[in-house]
A = this chain, B = another copy of it.
Amino acid sequence: MEGQTRSDGVVRVPADARERFYDSRGYGRPAGDALDLAPVEAAHLLYRGDLDSVDGRGFREYLSAGDGLAVRFLVYKDLRDRGFYCSPTREGWSDAVEAGEAADFLVYPRGKGPWDGVVEHRVHVVGERTTVPADGLEGGVLAVVDEESEITYLDTSRAPVEGSTEHAPPTGVEATLLGDRVVAWDPPAALYEQGFYGQPLDRDDDAVQLSLVEAAYLAGDGVLDIEAGDEPDGRAAVVARGREAEGDRFDRRLAVYSTLRNRGVVPKTGFKFGADFRTYAAVESVEELGHSELLVRVLPAGHAFAPRDLALDVRLAHGVRKEMVFALVDGAGAEDGADDGDDSRIEWLRVQRLTP
């Protein structure tokens, strides 16, 4: 059986093709008794020997001719090998194809096909060298084909981070800005023990060291009264120190820290995991602390991911049984670093490995 490419890039296969390839195996879109195929479907049928040629070309030639076709073919084949029927997202081929669809394939639940009207995954295919804008990741599956043609599936979702920690620390705690950290020399024990703010300098010592984001947040709430040399405004000095070290990134991190705290989630440094924060959704006391649940990386809203960096973060999080969350912060924030509790400028992007 042979196919012909038409002017719109669709491959038309003549009569009987519908019965053989669509009705029983979910390829293409029926055109009477004939069948229209997307190039990746034609390539797969050529590969299997079900089609003899397209425009007179066999599998090898056909695959070489299409730009980017090889990568899409590898993912299509892998999904088919795993027992899924899937359809390329050609506009008008299915009601399930959305306007401006980012996905390359609609994948149906096992045992179902294009005629059932149920979509299990929307899969967007990229090579490992293609950067992926964070904007484009909002609920689909990213299939990354690495240089050795192995495929990693990453499931993305947008879901807020919520917690149930309730602790209102007392106000007026004295502290000192010391290099790029802050020390509260004699705070109420609850600041650390219930609030999980900072870290004791020593087991036998009352002094608690705080990070710049912790200190800026607490000072904004009136909890800390920070002495910073000759600077009259201790909080402003802390924010200035943070910006000196990290630039805009400090403001983004402070916005994320503040939002998490305001939502009852306790963020602590994620340094050992290479992240900005690890988080605890429900802290009653440090003594009864469980494992942290999330790793959070803070990024500007316009960030584009290198798939390899994404793979690194997601793999690490998986290995330590945490979920990887990216906090995408819209740049337009409070100028003075003041945290106004406006969290509408933060989007939460969760990414997990998926084995379809």
Contacts and interface: CB of A to CB of B under 8 A. Distances in A.
Contacts of A211: 147-149
A326 to B, nearest CB: 14
Q: Taking chain A's interface residues, is the majority helix, strand, or loop, or is none over half, making it mixed?
A: mixed
A179 B271 contact: no
Interface residues on A, range: 35 or more
A86 interface: no
Given A152-B271, A246-B129, A60 B181 contact: no
Contacts of A274: 308-309, 311-313, 315-316
Residue among A63, A178, A213, A311 with the highest chain B CB neighbour number at 10 A: A178
A275 B128 CA distance: 12
Interface stretch (A21-29, A64-72, A108-116): A64-72
A198 interface: yes
Interface string A56-93: 00001001100111110000010001000000000000
A166 B129 CA distance: 31
A146 B269 contact: yes
A23 B149 CA distance: 64
15 contacts: A64-B176, A64-B229, A146-B271, A147-B180, A147-B213, A148-B199, A148-B269, A150-B269, A150-B271, A152-B271, A152-B272, A271-B311, A272-B311, A274-B315, A319-B320
